Chain A
Amino acid sequence: MNDIIVQMKNIVKVYPDGTVALRGVDLEVRRGEIHGLLGENGAGKTTLMKILSGLLRPTSGEIYIAGKRVHFKSASEALKHGIGMVHQHLALVPAFTAYENIILGLPSREASRKKIEKLMEETGLKVPLDALVEDLPFGVRQRIEIIKMLYRNVDILILDEPTTNLTPIETRELFHTLKELKKRGKTIIFITHKLREVLEVTDRITVLRRGRVVGRTETAKATPEMLAKMMVGREVVMKIEKKPAKPGEPVLIVKDLWVKNDLGEWAVKGLSFAVYSGEIFGIAGVEGNGQTELVEAITGLRRVEKGQVILMGKDVTNKSPGELYRLGLSHIPEDRHKLGLVLDMTVSENSILGIHRLKKFLGSLLNLKWGVIDRHARDIIERFEIVAPGTKAPARSLSGGNQQKLVVGRELSKSPRVIVAAQPTRGLDVAATEYIRKLLIKMRDEGKAVLLVSADLDEILQLSDRMAVMYEGEFMGIAKPEELTEERIGLMMGGYKMEQISSKTSPQPVESR
């Protein structure tokens, strides 16, 4: 049971642009364990695992699988040795069915529906084989990826931040699956920043920081504080201090808002609420209940079919994003790749997206003052501790978390009056999460209004002065977090209105329209 299946020795990785991502990393993984790989954004976790799964070649260092030295030249060679990786951004063809995706790339004689069904039966990983992937929720897509790997007889399964886009229930199901796979003798490497998860599901943990291993431990001997300290290199305050809010004027008012989703169905059904200056208004709820559409409608990216949005006293219904920004709106979008960044532009160029027409960046020829802009970008890099090769590197070359920090940094540097933050800490490590949460509170204390939309309930509870729970385009209730128990929130997330729960009668689900 104690034998080492993966051994990586003194791995160094220098990217072609000179970024040193790994500075001599040793990693040992035992057969049949769940091994947690923990580290801050940009620590090198993804890089290390891409090397193990054959997608990248190390600059130097040795890899042994079950004691034998290997030199992978491609992912398929690693696969032959039983190593498979499930990426954070999943790698499925949306227009294919689950079944087609699972057998994609295999010779047809190896494609057997029966075998897949048997595999699903044995592992409890159920997916609708004939459904199109694009119609399936993220959690199911991830299961397809895992089945795909298992079907290729993977013994060592690498999961890169698998819970980032999962709902709490899906996360629980995933952990159950992982434990099941472990029982069946599979080795699992689990990348995450989330301390709670790593403590819950792993056997041993390796912690990376800035390309070096800074700690190894048995999970049983670890505490969250100790792991956080290792990751960040200093003590992390896990609890955020918050003074009582001093709400002022309502600066963002939404009246009877109706919005459709891309399929033309009603996604937001007559919402009304106000966000006051000096408060954080949180919206909780399982993803896909209209939060995305609500945020897009408020920020000028999606048509309002009916109702009104009032920002700083002005009716801004269906106004363009540019006009909203001029009134003092900042928007941290939930999808940084699609909206927040132009990945092929440089860090500097991205640091002014949305504020590029500000006077201070413009010269007399309507030219952009690159000197000023580069300084602005460097300022954001420093203030938000972004790990980036430089202001002239394309945003694409930053690690996922650092891309997010760049977006957040840019939006908060605008000195906004109203901040709409959608999943602002998704994909961020503890230190960055702490930093951004504190910053949102600081913004609130400075009298800014913050609308926070997050699928992370802890985040909502920790930050919000008032919160709403959204279900199928409606609010199940608005309350102060301290007035709600987790259980009541859970019920509201599942479609029970607050009044129904408080009036001690047995709860009735709202019939969906």
Chain B
Amino acid sequence: MPGSRFWIVLKEELGRLAEILIAVLVGFVIAGILMWLGGYDPIAAYIAMFEFSFSDPYYLATTLSFAAPIMLTAITFAVGVRAGLFNIGAEGQLYMGALGAVIVASWALPGPLYLPLAIIVGSLMGAVWGLAAGLLKVYREVNEVVSTIMLNWIAFWVVEYARVYIYPNPIDASKTISMPPAGRLPILIKGTELSASLIVSLVFVGIAFYLLWYMVLGYEIRATGLNPSAARYGGINPKKAMLWAFIIGGIASGLAGVCEIAGRPPSYAITTGLSNLMGLGFDGITVSLLGANHPFGIIPAAIFIGALYSGARGMQIVTGVPLEMVKAVQGIIIIALAVPGIIRLIRSKIRRGGVKVV
């Protein structure tokens, strides 16, 4: 029965929940100490943060609107991890996806075609950007960490160039041309920034789950990540599996980029210095780690990080704690999260080398 399999997978994958909750707690406590040292009242700050992220529909909508794109960029990282990769290229792939949407926005098209074409072109451009790192990894043995960082920067400058010289907005020089209204994702709650991009993200997360645990390609990707030699023995081409993981990851981030153009008021465009895109790819790494690299862990994790961002505004307004404190919370959580992971890694390395047999 697929149902029972579903629960097994979920249970097995979210088994590290305790570890994650502790990391989150540690993040809050240490950041609280920092605030206290800086002369702020951490309790009041956290209360404000919570109020401004969940307390009424408007804030909740803001939280969810922040959560949507980082769910997708988290999928990029998570699929990579499942294939045994450390793909941190979501950032660049997201830029390329956004550029794809702007390119489509620049065309003269019948209204209903804008959105589907933006989605296709944007995710394809993200996929190509991911694939580039994949090809370098598979055929030239370039470590994907190095190649994706470089590709992130290349994407930044390519998109920045395109923003200034190819697609500048004739009315407002601080951004590119906007997605025409016909090509925009509908707003879900009036007066908020929450658009149907949340639905796009949730659907894609579901697809990623189905792909990884129910489809033959996902099986091959996971086998490759867990034991490449056995995968090869099993007639799987690990190189192909890795390339697919890069492609799927690229599609996810490309899609995130499209959603930022087609589904984020007020600009519906790329703004100066890519300021409205910057960091969304890297936040995906945090989200994926928090979500145990599992699609269904990623959803609450993305909402949590989204809440941090929307709550940060409240924290600043009410208690004066600078917005950047949220980054500190995030950073500390990541470090706290990494500790058990690192210990596990060392342990398994040692065990593989043969020191300890448990």
What is the interface of chain A, defined by CB distance below 8 A to chain B?
A: 55, 87, 89-95, 104, 299, 301, 320-322, 325, 331, 333, 338-346, 349, 353-354, 356-357, 361-362, 365-368, 370-371, 392
Contact = CB atoms under 8 A, between A and B. Distances in A.
Contacts, number: 96
Contact of A320 (B5, B8, B235, B353): B235
Contact of B233 (A340, A345, A357): A340
Interface string B209-234: 01000111101101100110111111
A353 B354 CA distance: 26
B235 A95 contact: no
Given A93-B350, A339-B229, A342-B226, 8 more contacts: A90-B357, A91-B355, A301-B233, A321-B233, A342-B231, A354-B233, A361-B216, A368-B216
A371 B223 CA distance: 20
A197 B236 CA distance: 40
Interface of B is mostly: helix
B233 A91 contact: no
Interface in B22-63: none
B358 A366 contact: no
Contacts of B216: 356-357, 361-362, 366-368
B232 A301 contact: yes
B3 to A, nearest CB: 10
Nearest to B231: A342
Nearest to B7: A392
Contacts of A343: 226-227
Contacts of A371: 1-2
Given A345-B223, A356-B216, A95 B353 contact: yes
A345 B226 contact: yes
A91 B352 CA distance: 9
B355 A93 contact: yes
B358 A55 contact: yes
A289 B203 CA distance: 55
B237 interface: yes
A93 B354 contact: yes
Contacts of A356: 216, 219-220, 234
A370 B5 contact: yes
A325 B235 contact: yes
Given A89-B357, A340-B230, A366 B235 contact: no
Contact of A333 (B214, B233, B236): B233
B190 interface: no
Interface string B1-20: 11011001000000000000
A87 B356 CA distance: 10
A89 B358 CA distance: 10
Interface string B101-134: 0000000000000000000000000000000000
Contact of A92 (B5, B210, B237, B355): B355
A341 B230 contact: yes
Nearest to B218: A368
A329 to B, nearest CB: 10
A482 B42 CA distance: 86
A368 B215 contact: yes
A321 to B, nearest CB: 5
Given A322-B237, A370-B5, A349 B219 contact: yes
A55 B231 CA distance: 31
A366 B355 contact: no
B90 to A, nearest CB: 25
Contacts of B357: 87, 89-91
Contacts of B2: 370-371
B236 A367 contact: no
A327 to B, nearest CB: 12
Contacts of B231: 342
| 8 nearest A-B pairs in the assembled complex, by CB-CB distance | A322-B235, A353-B234, A339-B233, A354-B234, A87-B357, A342-B227, A321-B235, A367-B214
B244 to A, nearest CB: 12
B1 A368 contact: no
A322 B236 contact: yes
Contacts of A90: 354, 357
Contacts of A392: 4-5, 8
Interface hub of A331, A346, A361, A368 (most chain B Cβ within 10 A): A368
Contacts of A354: 233-235
Interface string B235-256: 1110000000000000000000
A87 B234 CA distance: 28
A459 B240 CA distance: 39
Contacts of A301: 232-233
Nearest to A324: B235
A362 B353 CA distance: 37
A367 B227 CA distance: 21
B113 to A, nearest CB: 27
A209 B232 CA distance: 36
28 contacts: A89-B357, A93-B350, A93-B353, A93-B355, A94-B353, A299-B233, A320-B235, A321-B234, A321-B235, A322-B235, A339-B233, A340-B230, A341-B227, A342-B226, A342-B231, A343-B226, A353-B223, A354-B233, A356-B219, A356-B234, A357-B235, A362-B216, A365-B215, A367-B210, A368-B216, A370-B2, A371-B2, A392-B4
B315 to A, nearest CB: 41
A91 B354 contact: yes
Contacts of B219: 349, 356, 368
B237 to A, nearest CB: 7
Contacts of B350: 93
Nearest to B233: A339
A253 to B, nearest CB: 22
Contacts of A89: 354, 357
A116 B231 CA distance: 43
Contacts of B236: 322
B63 to A, nearest CB: 34
Contacts of B229: 338-339
Contacts of A370: 2, 5, 214
Nearest to B5: A370
Nearest to A348: B5
A362 B218 CA distance: 13
A127 B231 CA distance: 37
Contacts of A325: 235
Nearest to A354: B234
A361 B214 CA distance: 11
Nearest to A141: B354
A420 to B, nearest CB: 12
A276 B215 CA distance: 38
Contacts of B356: 91
A329 B2 CA distance: 31
A174 B350 CA distance: 27
B353 A342 contact: no
A454 to B, nearest CB: 19
B232 A321 contact: yes
B48 to A, nearest CB: 43
A339 B217 contact: no
B214 A368 contact: yes
Interface string B330-358: 00000000000000000000100111111
